[in-house]
Amino acid sequence: MPLDPFYPIVPDTRWLARLLPAGIKLVQLRIKDEPSDVVAAEIVKARDLCAKARCQLVVNDYWREAIDAGADFVHLGQEDLASADLGAIRRAKIRIGISTHSEEELETALAAAPDYVALGPIYPTLLKKMPWAPQGLDRIGAWNERIACPLVAIGGITPERAQGVFAAGADSVAVITDILAHDDPVRRTEAWLSCTQSLRER
Ligand SMILES: Cc1ncc(COP(=O)(O)OP(=O)(O)O)c(N)n1
Ligand SMILES: Cc1nc(C(=O)O)sc1CCOP(=O)(O)O
Ligand SMILES: [Mg+2]
């Protein structure tokens, strides 16, 4: 199944339950700073909510809990990758997405034969401090020439910027602030789904 072009990222299952009725088909649960019992329970709940809505669930960081719950994907950053058991994730038939920010990180990611590669930050992001300057659109084209799997673009992406990001070669755009900080996150999610609809029908 191809990756949906719209890839929202949420911090908990309350957000997930809020956005799923809009019709999202791919979502990442990115939990930070919660005790392990809360993390495990949230991942199980997310799995059940997503299964009911026929939405693919990506679990960020917590690969063991993703295996236990039977998530669709695990997303790993470079540090996560160093400590994850890729064999165990694959044996559980869970697909793997990997973050990249530089040529060196792309080499490391490709050695793990990922199911998608994420490149970021494409634009400046307010969400998290990172040592990398914005990658810009040209880098998307350069990554696309190097990889055979789908490419996810992340960082500061808005609907206005998305068309350029897709035109540069991204298969999917991952989005946090543009939705979560919006006055009406559900309406914004619906706007994202409409502006990516033509890509979904290809
Ligand atoms: C789709 C996507 N791309 C990049 C990231 C960032 O992953 P990582 O570098 O491990 O940082 P954290 O999100 O864990 O803080 C992501 N989560 N999703
Ligand atoms: C979590 C994260 N990872 C990034 C990377 O480049 O790896 S950019 C990013 C934040 C993306 O959020 P927003 O849509 O709010 O900019
Ligand atoms: Mg991580």
Contact predicate 79/102, CB 8 Å = no
Choice among 41-45, 49-53, 123-127, 159-163 with the minimum mean pLDDT: 123-127
The whole-number pLDDT of residue 1 equals 73
Our mutation pick for probing the ligand 1 site, out of 4, 60, 151, 152, counting the most ligand atoms within 8 A of Cβ, is 60
For residue 19, report the distance from its CA to the centre of ligand 3, in Å. 22
The whole-number pLDDT of residue 138 equals 97
Transcribe 152-195 into DSSP letters.
Answer: EEESS--HHHHHHHHHTT-SEEEESHHHHTSSSHHHHHHHHHHH
Alpha-carbon span 157 to 8, nearest angstrom = 11
- pLDDT digits 0-9 by tens, 131-185: 999 999 999 999 999 999 999 999 999 999 999 999 999 999 999 999 999 999 9
For residue 89, report the distance from its CA to the centre of ligand 2, in Å. 24
* Residue 180 CA, closest ligand 2 atom number: 15
Instruction: Kindly list the distances between the CA atom of residue 133 and the CA atoms of 79, 117, 124, 177, in Å, as whole numbers in the listed order.
Output: 19, 18, 8, 18
Give the binding-site residues of ligand 2, using a 6 Å CB cut-off: 99, 101, 120-121, 125, 127-128, 154-157, 175-178
pLDDT at 2 exceeding the cut of 90: no
The whole-number pLDDT of residue 202 equals 72
Domains recognised in the chain with CATH numbers: 6-197 (3.20.20.70)
Q: pLDDT higher for 127 or 117? A: 117
Q: Whose CA is nearest to atom 7 of ligand 2?
A: 120
Q: pLDDT higher for 202 or 54? A: 54
Our mutation pick for probing the ligand 2 site, out of 158, 176, 189, counting the most ligand atoms within 8 A of Cβ, is 176
The whole-number pLDDT of residue 104 equals 98
Our mutation pick for probing the ligand 1 site, out of 4, 30, 125, counting the most ligand atoms within 8 A of Cβ, is 30
- pLDDT digits 0-9 by tens, 3-20: 999 999 999 999 999 999
Pocket flag, ligand 1, residue 115 (CB < 6 Å): no
The whole-number pLDDT of residue 8 equals 99
pLDDT at 201 exceeding the cut of 90: no
Write down the pTM of the prediction.
Answer: 0.98
- pLDDT digits 0-9 by tens, 65-110: 999 999 999 999 999 999 999 999 999 999 999 999 999 999 999 9
